């Protein structure tokens, strides 16, 4: 069989699986069922392609280039609607408030929950690393790892951990229109800030110029309706995007290299599962049913897992909070938006803490020392502020923590082989942290909708 024939057959197989998902949609299978089926099919088809042709073969590469039209294209569509969604949702929600103080209290509560859960994540990550006896001195260094370490060193020369004061100041955009383009590491938070300020301005105008305020409010309402319809159109493509993304990941992964670092992978996922259990415990303590939470959030977690982007998952995160869990629009938007750049439990909590504990013994530091652990938790919590929710966010979080702790950063490159695998779980946990913050804030402010939370699932793709 010629390579061209193999590529054509591989693409035909993908189209057959896409047709199956389309059939399931026409037969009214639930959104969650289709997303889960897409992930399983993607894993199976990716494994079949790797078994038949090899992870590094030209056939797999060429086929995945075509699959990327679906997978990468879907991720780009989601990123395309992130900024418009944040802008119209937050601005219109605030413009319709009666009291702007509610916004400030909600924002403070969300940030507090995100930072607190990140501190807990650091403790959990450090605990598992120490209990497994993981250390940087035991890592193998091959050509790929050496090259990655060198790249990280070069990256570090251009990167300096910014103090918390500077990170806070940089949230304020010097050019609101530039922030709305989505460029820059703080673009999401900058848009949140500008949108909130614009909404507050509308509230102020309403007292002196009610006619102007009504005009702007109506315009924002119309824009909100159009953007939400756009979100609905994009979300309907989720199962197809999940299928293509998972197929690419499995078909191109070097599982032999990953197996060399199996202990770190196991420790990482145990830490991720433990922090997720903490989320469930927090929700249970605040009166939410954890089983209902898992059932309603599962499709969003699946996409976050396969796409490895918290920012790209934002439309799904917000829609799930609003439509399926009864969180008010303003709180859902703030929790989802803040969760992409503040207090990421997986990328900015567990991961950098694990690396610091691994490096500590090589520097003669006892990782069980209380003073060391206390400093580590504080640094991780503060350093999680402003970490971008896109690919590479965990790397910047690790660079921040290790540099502040005065530790070498080469270990980041040594883990390059397993980075995609653990990043999938980290991203899903980041999203769970944002959702938990939104739900807890709703409960504390007594703006929750228990009837909506307990009701049967709403189909996001049909909303």
pLDDT of residue 334: 86
Contact 266, 134 (CB under 8 A): no
**Which residues sit opposite 385 in a β-bridge?**
342
Contact 115, 343 (CB under 8 A): yes
Distance from C-alpha of 310 to C-alpha of 323, rounded to nearest angstrom? 19
Sign of CA pseudo-dihedral 285, 291, 296, 301: positive
**Helix, strand, or coil (residue 186):** coil
Whole-number Å distance between alpha carbons of 247 and 251? 6
What is the pLDDT at residue 192? 82
4, 54, 129, 210, 409 from 359: Cα distances, Å? 48, 35, 11, 61, 9
3-462: which CATH topology?
A: 1.10.3860
Separation of alpha carbons 419 and 165, rounded Å: 30
Q: Which residues of 88-107 are buried (b: 16+ CB within 10 A; e: fewer)?
A: bbbbbbbbeeeeeebbeebb
pLDDT for 164: 60
The pair of structure tokens assigned to 339 is 């969760």
Q: Which two tokens stand for residue 381?
A: 């919590």
Q: What is the pLDDT of residue 31?
A: 85
The reported pLDDT for the residue numbered 145 is 47
pLDDT at residue number 429? 95
Instruction: State how far the alpha carbon of 179 is from the alpha carbons of 46, 76, 109, 190, 195, in Å.
Output: 38, 18, 25, 6, 11
User: 179: Cβ–Cβ under 8 A, 6 or more apart, which residues?
Assistant: 173, 187, 190, 191, 194
Q: Is 81 helix (H, G, I), strand (E, B) or coil?
A: helix
Every domain of the chain and the residues it spans = 3-462
pTM of the model: 0.81
CA 42 centroid distance within chain? 20
Secondary structure (3-state) at 110: helix
Radius of gyration of the chain (CA): 22
Integer Cα distance of 362 and 371 in angstroms: 17
Q: Which residues, at least 6 apart from 191, have a Cβ–Cβ distance to it below 8 Å?
A: 83, 86, 87, 173, 179, 180, 182, 337
Q: Extract the residue ranges of the chain whose pLDDT is less than 50.
A: 142-149, 156-159, 389-390, 461-463
């Amino acid at each position: 069989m010629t390579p061209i024939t193999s590529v054509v057959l591989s693409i035909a197989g993908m189209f057959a699986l896409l047709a199956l998902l389309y059939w399931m949609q026409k037969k009214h299978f639930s959104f969650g069922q289709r997303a889960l089926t897409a992930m399983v099919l993607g894993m199976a088809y990716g494994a079949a392609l790797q078994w038949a042709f090899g992870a590094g073969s030209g056939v797999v590469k060429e086929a995945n280039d075509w699959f990327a039209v679906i997978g990468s294209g879907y991720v780009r569509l989601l990123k395309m609607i992130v900024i418009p969604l944040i802008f119209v949702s937050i601005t219109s929600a605030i413009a319709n408030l009666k009291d702007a103080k509610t916004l400030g209290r909600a924002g403070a509560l969300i940030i507090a929950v995100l930072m607190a859960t990140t501190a807990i994540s650091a403790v959990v990550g450090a605990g598992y690393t120490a209990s497994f006896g993981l250390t940087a001195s035991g890592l193998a260094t091959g050509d790929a790892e050496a090259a990655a370490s060198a790249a990280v060193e070069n990256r570090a020369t251009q990167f300096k951990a910014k103090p918390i004061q500077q990170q806070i100041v940089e949230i304020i955009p010097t050019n609101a229109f530039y922030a709305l383009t989505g460029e820059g590491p703080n673009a999401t938070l900058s848009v949140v800030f500008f949108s909130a300020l614009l909404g507050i301005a509308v509230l102020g105008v309403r007292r002196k110029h009610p006619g102007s305020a009504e005009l702007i409010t109506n315009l924002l309402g119309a824009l909100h309706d159009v953007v939400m319809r756009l979100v609905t159109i994009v979300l309907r493509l989720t199962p197809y995007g999940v299928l293509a993304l998972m197929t690419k990941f499995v078909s191109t992964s070097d599982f032999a290299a990953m197996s060399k670092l199996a202990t770190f992978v196991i420790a990482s996922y145990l830490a991720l599962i433990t922090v997720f259990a903490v989320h469930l415990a927090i929700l249970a303590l605040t009166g939410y049913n954890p089983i209902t939470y898992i059932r309603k959030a599962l499709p969003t977690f699946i996409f976050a897992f396969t796409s490895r982007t918290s920012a790209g998952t934002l439309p799904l995160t917000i829609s799930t909070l609003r439509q399926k869990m009864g969180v008010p629009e303003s709180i859902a938007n703030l929790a989802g938006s803040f969760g992409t750049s503040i207090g990421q439990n997986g990328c900015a909590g567990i991961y950098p803490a694990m690396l610091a504990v691994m490096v500590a013994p090589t520097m003669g530091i006892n990782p069980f020392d209380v003073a060391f652990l206390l400093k580590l938790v504080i640094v991780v919590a503060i350093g999680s502020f402003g970490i971008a929710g896109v690919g590479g966010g965990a790397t910047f979080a690790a660079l921040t923590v290790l540099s502040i702790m005065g530790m070498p950063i080469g270990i980041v490159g040594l883990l390059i082989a397993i980075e995609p695998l653990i990043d999938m779980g980290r991203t899903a946990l980041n999203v769970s942290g944002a959702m938990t913050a939104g739900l807890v804030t709703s409960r504390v402010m007594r703006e929750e909708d228990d009837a909506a939370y307990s009701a049967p699932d709403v189909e996001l793709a049909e909303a």
